[in-house]
Structure 1
Amino acid sequence: MKKVKTKQMRRSLLFGSFIAFLIAISPYLFYLYENFPESKTWETSLFTLEVTNYPDVYSAAWYFVSKFIPLYLLLLWFFTCRHWWYHIILIPIAMYAFQLFHVINDDVEYIDETEIYYLIPIMFVIIPIVYIIRVKLFDKLVHGIDMKKLDQELEELDMEEEHFSK
């Protein structure tokens, strides 16, 4: 029994250390844009990158990492968060995902202007779900109301009502 617990603790420590490492390297990942050239074209032995919507490759890389790193950190937070409200993190994740898509997409003229309109339907779904979770937790913890028992009682009342109506 003790050996299993130590094995779980070791896994938890390794996983936590890996997550801490991913968070710790985020500033270094952000500043990778400084290695890109300040020209419209970047040629390497593997590929050639030419930017059209940005002044130079350096600026395009800066826009990319300024959207990617917050998305990266929010995803880490979402997948490691143990709080009941963690679904609400999906809203800023969606915002940065839309912004990153617009940075990568060459057809978009403006960046960071229309993403809020794409978020509205996502917010209409996520916010009520989080609120329902909050209400259920609040009722159970504060008022001691068990929603399963309440649902069973309502079903019994419905069955009795059906029986009397026949």
Structure 2
Amino acid sequence: MNQKSSIKKKLIIEGLIALCISISVLLFYSYKFIPKGQETITWSLFNFTITENGYGEVYIAIYFYLAKIVPLYLLIIWFITCKNWWYPAILIPIAMYAFQLFTSIFEASLKVDENELLYLLGVCMVIIPIVYFIRVKLFDKHVHGIDLDAIDAELKEYKERERLQKEQDLKGKKL
């Protein structure tokens, strides 16, 4: 019975993920349903007020927001569901879209997609070495057949033999 409930739970989660992915197209093109050509400076939806924020019209501002939100949430889904060793590399485009979304919402429209590179360099400096370290470990183990744990065990055994040999040499000199 427990296995059936875990299978059912897994199917529900996978179905929700598939639904979120399929809705992304509708979400991305939803800016087309916003009235155009009017002198609207703000637009309200579900207690959220969206302003034109320097883009000229509200629908253009929403287009820019959705152009950042949709790839961001698809990348987050990919990051969460990815089972490959390189999944931390997905954090780089996630950070890029997050910084771009932040600047498109909170800064003037003249500065969109300009200064994120500086912030992204910090993220890359952390993530790239982690991904490279994981790759080297896997490459050595699976391609070259080098088992680092076995090498460590051999080194410890060798050091122990050296230590015992030194002890025996010291005992031999004392006699």
TM-score with structure 1 setting the length: 0.82
Is 2:27 aligned against 1:41? Answer: no
Contiguous gaps of at least 5 residues in structure 1 = none
C-alpha contact 1:40 1:52 (8 A) present in aligned 2: no
Is 2:91 aligned against 1:90? Answer: yes
Deviation at 1:145, TM superposition (A): 2.4
**RMSD (CA atoms):** 2.7
C-alpha contact 2:53 2:108 (8 A) present in aligned 1: no
Aligned to 2:173: none
C-alpha contact 2:53 2:61 (8 A) present in aligned 1: no
The number of aligned residues is 162
Deviation at 1:64, TM superposition (A): 0.3
**Aligned residue identity for 2:27:** L
Aligned-pair identity in percent equals 46
CA distance in 2, matches of 1:34, 1:17: 27
**Aligned residue identity for 2:23:** I
1:77-116 matches, within 5 Å, as: 77-106=78-107, 109-116=110-117
**Aligned residue identity for 1:84:** W
**Aligned residue identity for 2:133:** I
Is 2:60 aligned against 1:62? Answer: no
**Aligned residue identity for 2:97:** Y
Partner SS state of residue 25, structure 1:
helix
TM-score with structure 2 setting the length: 0.78
Most deviating of 77-86 and 123-132: 123-132
Is 2:121 aligned against 1:123? Answer: no
Aligned to 1:7: 5
Most deviating of 85-94 and 3-12: 3-12
CA distance in 1, matches of 2:112, 2:43: 26
The alpha-carbon distance between structure 1 residues 150 and 52, as it changes in their structure 2 partners (threshold 3 A), is same
**Higher Cα Rg, which structure:** 2
Aligned to 1:145: 146
Most deviating of 3-12 and 154-163: 154-163
| CA deviation map 1:77-119 (0-9, x unaligned) | 0001111111100000000001000111135741112212221
